[in-house]
Structure 1
Amino acid sequence: MQEVNGSIAILGSGETSPNLVSVHRNLINKIDGEVIASLIDTPFGFQENADQLVDKLIEFYDVSLNLEINLASFRNKKYFKSVEYFEFLKKIQSSNFIFSGPGSPSYATKNWIDTDVPEIFKERLCSGSSLIFASAAASTLGIRTIPVYEIYKVGIDPYWEKGINLLEVFDIDCVVVPHFNNKEGGNHDTSISYLGAKRMEILQEIQPTNILGIDEHTALIIDAKENLFEVEGLGQVTVINQNETQNFKNGEKYSLDDLRKLLENTETKSIKESADNDQNSQDEQIEDVLRKEIAELRLEIEKNNKNSENINNLINKLISYRIELRSSQKYEESDIVRDFLTESNIEIEDDKNSSSWKFKD
C-alpha cells in the first residue's frame, strides 16, 4: 500500500447543511499553509441548473467557511484532451482542497474513468490534500458504483457501473452507498441510496461486494496520517461484508486498520479492469503536449490579469489620496506619495482637475 498523508470526508447527503459545516472546517484545518480550493462540477454537469449549483456551492464556502473556492470545470468527456481539459487538470493538481458533490453517480464515473482524474485524486490524497465527496460523487469512490438514476428513476434492471476506486489507496475494497438510511419512499423502501434492500440483493447476486453505507446528513472522515477514522453528523456508518454487519456511530474515533479488515478484498483474483494502454501516435502525443502548454499559459495569463487589476486599483487609490492631500494644501505629504510612485516607475500627469498615470518607458 502506498503512503497516504491526506484526509477524505465521504458525506451521505447534506453537504451544505449546518449539520456538516464542521466537517468541511475540520478538513480545511488539516491543511498546512495556504488553502487552494477547487470545486469540481462533473457529477451535475448535465443538469440545466449546473451554473446555479456552482454559485450556491461557492456561496456556501464563502459565507459558512470564509473560504474562496474556485471552479474546476469538467462537465463532459467530449472535452477530453482539449485545452480546457488540461486547464481543468492543472487546477486540481494545484489544489490541496477538493470538493465534489451532488448529481448522478454514473454520469460522474463515465466522465472520469479512462481520464487522468482518478489518478490525480489519488495523488492529491497521498500528498496530504483534503478531499470531500458528497452524495453522487461519494458513490463513485469504490470499486463499483450504483447507477441510481438508471435503476430507481428509469427502471432498468439492477446492474453495476465501474467506480474510480479511490479508496484503494487505503487498501479498502467496497462500494460506497450514500443516502443509506433514506426514507423518502414512505410506504416503499428507498434505503440504500433509493434502491431498497431487494434491488441490493440482486446486485449482490450479480457481483458480491463489501458495502460502506453512509446515512444522510452524516460523514465518514478518514485521516490516513493518523491512521484513524470517525463519524460526524446525525446518523451512522454501516459496514457490510460477507460475514458480518457493523455500525459506527458519531462521537468516537476508530483505528483505520479496523475498517481495512472489514472491507478487505476477499476475492481470489482481482476483477479490477484496466483501460487499454495502447501507445498514442507521435502526433497525438505532440498535440497533448501543446494543449497542456496552452492550458498552463491561459492560467498564467488569468493570474497575471488578476494581479494587474489589483495593481491598477492600488495605484488609482494612491493617486486619489494624493489629490485629496493637494486639495487640503498638504503638499509635502502629497509629494511623498508622488515620489513613492515615481520610484516605482510610475509617471503622474496632473491637470487642473485630475491626475492620470502611466508606466515610464
Structure 2
Amino acid sequence: MPGVLVLMGSGETSPTMVEVHRAATRELRPGARAVLLDTPYAFQENRADISARARRYFAHSVGLQVEVGTGIAGADWVFSGPGSPTYALERWAESGVAGDLRARVRARQGVTVLASAAACTAGLATVPVYEIYKVGAEPHWREGIDLLEPLGLRAVVIPHFDNAEGGTHDTRYCYLGERRLSRMERELPEGTAVLGLDEHTALVIDLESGSVRVAGRGGLTVRLPGSAAVLPAGTRTDLAELRRLASGVGGAPLPPAPAERAAVPAEVTLEETIRTGEERFRAAEAEPDLVAAAQVVLDLEAEIVKWAADTEEDAGGVDQARELMRLLIARLGELAADSGRRSTSLGHLVESLLALRAALREQGRYDVADALREAMRAGGVQIEDTPDGPRWSL
C-alpha cells in the first residue's frame, strides 16, 4: 500500500480538495478498503447526515467507496474530519484507534487523511477548540496522538490557521487568535513548533520517499517563538527540510514557480462565491438588469449543488448560501414587479409621444417628428412604421 499522510486545514469534502484526494488515492489497489472515522462528530444529532454527505462526496468526486466505522487495522485509506478534537481523542484512546493511526504512519503504509478537528489531534499536543472558543475555558493543551513523532517532527498542528470569520475580533489559528496562541506556545515543551495549515490547504507527506508538498489555496506556516516560515501552496520540499524548519534552522524551500502556480488554478471557495454573488446582484439591481440578476441566482444554485457534500459548518457554508439565494429570489421578485410598473408607465408615455409624432407628421412638420423619433431611439425606444401604424419596442 502507498504510504501517505495528508493533513488538511479545512475544506476536506469541498471542491477545493478534490484534486488532493484524487492524488492521494491514485495508487490504491482496486477494491481498496476505505474507512471514514466519524468519531469527531459522533456526538452530533446529524452524524448520519454528515457521514452520508461525505460518502457521496468521495464516491462521486474521488471515485472511492467509503465505509463508516472504527476498525481501521489493515485499511488502505482512512479519513477523519470535522467535529471536536477532544471528543475524538478520548474515544480513540479508549478504543485503540490512536495506536492504530500511529502504527500506520510508523509502518509508512496506507493513506491517512486527517482534516480540520481530526488534524488538530495529529501533533504532540492538541488545541481543545470547543472548550476554549465556545465554552470559555482557559487556554490549555490536551495531549495529542502525535502522528508526527515517527517522522522526526516535534510539532503541534493547528488547522483553520488563516480563519477570518471573526471580522472585528481575531479568529486566526483555529479561533485562538494571536493573544491566546502566544500564551499557549509558552506552555509547549521546548523545541516544539506550530504547523499552521490555512483553510482549503493540505500538507501532503509521502511516507516512503519523504517528499512533502503544500497544496490548495493557502499555505503552511512553520512557527516558533519569535519566527515563522511560510510555505505557500505549490511548495515542494522534503521531510528533512521540514524538520530543519521546525527546529529553527535552515531556510524555507523555494516557493513554486509562477508557471507551476498557474498550472492548477485555485478553486473558488463557496464563501467567495457568496460575496461575489452579492456584488453582482447589487450591480444588476442598480441597472436594473433582470436577466443578469436572475443569472446570479442560477449561478448560486449551481454552486450550492456543487458544494452539497461539504461537511464544514463555518461561515460561508451551504446554509449561508441558501439563505442568500432565498433573499436574492425575493429581491428578484421585487425587481420584476418594479419593472412591470415601469413598463406600464413607459407604455403610456410612449403611446402619447407616438400620438404627438403622428400629429406632427399630419401637420407636415417632418423635421420635428424625425427629431422626436431620434430622441426616443436614443432613450432605447425603437419605432417601426408599418401599414397598420407605428410599432415600438425597447
Q: Please, what TM-score do these two structures have when normalized by structure 1? A: 0.65
Residues 170 and 265 of structure 1: CA distance in aligned 2, closer, same or farther (over 3 Å): farther
Q: How many residues align?
A: 246
- Give 5+ residue unaligned stretches, structure 2: 250-394
Contact 2:102 2:145 in 1 (8 A): no
Task: Give, as a single letter, the amino acid of the residue that structure 2 aligns with 1:263.
Answer: A
* Partner SS, residue 186 of structure 2: helix
2:84 alignment partner in structure 1: 104
Contact 2:77 2:110 in 1 (8 A): yes
- Give 5+ residue unaligned stretches, structure 1: 73-87, 267-361
Superposed, 1:281-360 pairs within 5 Å as none
Whole-angstrom CA distance in 1 between matches of 2:182 and 2:235 = 31
Whole-angstrom CA distance in 1 between matches of 2:221 and 2:85 = 20
Pairwise CA distance, 1:124: 2.4
Tell me which of 201, 226, 229 is aligned to 1:218.
201
Residues 10 and 243 of structure 1: CA distance in aligned 2, closer, same or farther (over 3 Å): same
Work out the percentage of aligned pairs sharing the same amino acid.
40
Task: Give, as a single letter, the amino acid of the residue that structure 2 aligns with 1:24.
Answer: H
Pairwise CA distance, 1:33: 4.8
Superposed, 1:258-269 pairs within 5 Å as 258-264=241-247
* Partner SS, residue 93 of structure 1: coil
Tell me which of 147, 158, 161 is aligned to 1:177.
158
Pairwise CA distance, 1:206: 2.6
1:95 alignment partner in structure 2: 75
Tell me which of 43, 47, 55 is aligned to 2:40.
43
Residues 37 and 8 of structure 1: CA distance in aligned 2, closer, same or farther (over 3 Å): same
Contact 2:35 2:67 in 1 (8 A): yes
Bigger mean CA deviation after superposition, 61-70 or 230-239: 61-70
Whole-angstrom CA distance in 1 between matches of 2:155 and 2:248 = 8
* Partner SS, residue 82 of structure 2: coil
Contact 1:172 1:265 in 2 (8 A): no
Tell me which of 65, 69, 89 is aligned to 2:66.
69
- 1:139-171 CA distance string (max 9 Å, x none): 000000000011011111101111011111211
* Partner SS, residue 46 of structure 1: coil
Whole-angstrom CA distance in 1 between matches of 2:143 and 2:231 = 27
Matched, 1:227 2:207: no
Superposed, 1:230-245 pairs within 5 Å as 230-242=213-225, 244-245=227-228
Whole-angstrom CA distance in 2 between matches of 1:229 and 1:152 = 31
Tell me which of 52, 55, 67 is aligned to 1:55.
52
Task: Give, as a single letter, the amino acid of the residue that structure 2 aligns with 1:194.
Answer: Y
Task: Give, as a single letter, the amino acid of the residue that structure 1 aligns with 2:123.
Answer: G
1:321 alignment partner in structure 2: none
Task: Give, as a single letter, the amino acid of the residue that structure 2 aligns with 1:241.
Answer: L
- 1:247-301 CA distance string (max 9 Å, x none): 11122310210111223599xxxxxxxxxxxxxxxxxxxxxxxxxxxxxxxxxxx
- 1:163-212 CA distance string (max 9 Å, x none): 01111121111110000000000010000000101011121233353100
Whole-angstrom CA distance in 1 between matches of 2:242 and 2:183 = 25
Matched, 1:251 2:231: no
- 1:331-354 CA distance string (max 9 Å, x none): xxxxxxxxxxxxxxxxxxxxxxxx
2:188 alignment partner in structure 1: 207
Task: Give, as a single letter, the amino acid of the residue that structure 2 aligns with 1:207.
Answer: L
Bigger mean CA deviation after superposition, 115-124 or 136-145: 115-124
RMSD: 1.9
Pairwise CA distance, 1:215: 0.1
Contact 1:219 1:233 in 2 (8 A): yes
Whole-angstrom CA distance in 2 between matches of 1:143 and 1:99 = 19
Residues 190 and 243 of structure 1: CA distance in aligned 2, closer, same or farther (over 3 Å): closer
Task: Give, as a single letter, the amino acid of the residue that structure 1 aligns with 2:38.
Answer: D
Task: Give, as a single letter, the amino acid of the residue that structure 1 aligns with 2:65.
Answer: E
Whole-angstrom CA distance in 1 between matches of 2:34 and 2:175 = 31
Whole-angstrom CA distance in 2 between matches of 1:5 and 1:28 = 9
Contact 1:30 1:130 in 2 (8 A): no
Q: Which has the larger radius of gyration?
A: 2
Whole-angstrom CA distance in 2 between matches of 1:243 and 1:228 = 27
Residues 115 and 243 of structure 1: CA distance in aligned 2, closer, same or farther (over 3 Å): farther
Tell me which of 7, 16, 27 is aligned to 1:10.
7
Pairwise CA distance, 1:114: 4.8
Pairwise CA distance, 1:110: 1.6
Pairwise CA distance, 1:101: 0.2
* Partner SS, residue 247 of structure 1: strand
